[in-house]
Structures are given as C-alpha cells and as structure tokens.
Amino acid sequence: NAGVTQTPKFRILKIGQSMTLQCAQDMNHNYMYWYRQDPGMGLKLIYYSVGAGITDKGEVPNGYNVSRSTTEDFPLRLELAAPSQTSVYFCATSSGRGRNLTQYFGPGTRLTVL
Amino acid sequence: GENVEQHPSTLSVQEGDSAVIKCTYSDSASNYFPWYKQELGKRPQLIIDIRSNVGEKKDQRIAVTLNKTAKHFSLHITETQPEDSAVYFCAFTGGGNKLTFGTGTQLKVEL
C-alpha cells in the first residue's frame, strides 16, 4: 500500500499562474484534508472532505479550491498564485469510521511563488 | 474560533534528561488530543494520542497527560536521545474530525 501520495514534490510558480496539487490515497479513508505549513509554523487547515462529493472550508480557504469526485483523490487548485501562497502543502486522511481519528499525512508539496 | 497554545517554542535538553511540552486548548468539547513529531523536511507523524475519557497514556519513553478541568495536555519524553530532536505539534479535535494544531516546539537533544 502506498498510503497517501502527493504530486509534485516541488514546484515554482510565477505570480498569477495556476496549478493543481494532487493527493491520492489507497487506504479507503472517508476523510481527506489539505493543510499548509509556513516556515517555522504549525499546520493550518485549508479545505477538508468527509466523503466523495462533499467538501468544506477550513481555516484558510481563500485563494484555493477543491473537489472530491472519488474516495481516492482530493486535488487542491490554486487559480491565481500569489507570493503569500509560498508554503509546504500537506494532504492528510483519516478513516472517519468509529473511534479512529488518526490522521495520516502525505509527504508534502513544496510550492514557491515568485 | 478554536485555538491552542503550545509552550515552549524551543526546548534544549541534555541526552538522558526528560522533556515536557504543554498545550492549552479552548474548546471544552474537545475529545481527542494527538501529538505529532516532524523531522526536518519530513511529514508530521503521530507519536501518541489520548482521548478525553483517559487521564494518562504511556508508550515506552513517551507519555501524554490530560487535565480536562484545566483544559491542558502535556507530552512527556523520558531518557531523551538525539533522534528525539524534531519539532513536536500538539493538536485537538472537537466535533467532527478536524484538527487544530499548535505552533510547534523545536526540541533539541544535546550530547
């Protein structure tokens, strides 16, 4: 099992460009999350999903969009990249079943906007 | 909104000593309190967690204590080793599965 995978690992964007960060999981987890981690800081929730077709905003959703058409995939879209979006982006999943609340993180995508 | 305060922001200990990191949370409905370890350039990884119906949990050299009345929980690492050097994050969740993370503690274990 690959667990939680993210692509790309690194990306440099110019201001105003768009891109999609990919996240995939083979753990059959219902819940998926996108976080950003700025240098020396904690993780802030951007968007999350409790199942296919259902998404909701987290703490810092502005400038981002998500979709969840399948259980396995949860892409994060940046439409007009800004320098403030320079960060490391982590995708995470959790079972969403019973009392299992553990979140499992992907390896991250390091994004720089110049 | 929900928030959590984590202290200290940096902690330096001698190898073999104990380390304690404390977090205070705001949501009295919180029922799940995990701790994550993040090594430089790596993803956060769960090291221990505790639920609101338990006051203490231990796993080898790592323990977590929870004081629901005071709304704080702490991570205790005994007999620290150089490989314990990392950033540690506390987190909590109330209703649903959303986690709120602390700002992190940089632990350095010196030889």
Mean of the per-residue pLDDT values for chain B? 92
Contact by Cβ (8 Å): B32, B51: yes
Predicted pLDDT of residue B26: 86
- Give the confidence band of B2 by pLDDT, cuts at 50, 70, 90: low
Give the model confidence (pLDDT) of A65-111 as tens digits: 999 999 999 999 999 999 999 999 999 999 877 777 899 999 999 99
Taking CB atoms and an 8 Å limit, are B46 and A103 in contact across chains? Answer: yes
Indicate if the pLDDT at residue B1 is higher than 60.
Answer: no
Contact by Cβ (8 Å): B73, B67: yes
Predicted pLDDT of residue B54: 83
Indicate if the pLDDT at residue B95 is higher than 90.
Answer: no
What is the Cα B5 distance to its own chain's centre?
11
Taking CB atoms and an 8 Å limit, are A106 and B45 in contact across chains? Answer: no
Give the model confidence (pLDDT) of B33-72 as tens digits: 999 999 999 999 999 999 888 899 999 999 999 999 999 9
Percent of chain A with pLDDT over 90: 86
Residue of A nearest to B1 (CA): A59
Interface contact B90, partner A, CB < 8 A: no
Indicate if the pLDDT at residue B81 is higher than 80.
Answer: yes
- Give the confidence band of B29 by pLDDT, cuts at 50, 70, 90: confident
Burial environment of residue B23 by CB neighbours within 10 A (0 to 12, 13 to 18, 19 or more): buried
Nearest-CA distance A13 → chain B (Å): 20
The β-bridge partners of B74 are B22, B65
Percent of chain A with pLDDT over 70: 100
Residue of A nearest to B94 (CA): A101
Give the mutation candidate from B9, B101, B105 for the A interface (greatest A CB count, under 10 A): B101
Give the mutation candidate from A9, A25, A33, A101 for the B interface (greatest B CB count, under 10 A): A101
Side chain identity, residue A16: G
Residues of chain B in contact with residue A107, where contact means CB-CB under 8 angstroms, are: 42-43
Nearest-CA distance A14 → chain B (Å): 23
pLDDT (average), residues A17-30: 96
Indicate if the pLDDT at residue A41 is higher than 90.
Answer: no
Predicted pLDDT of residue A99: 74
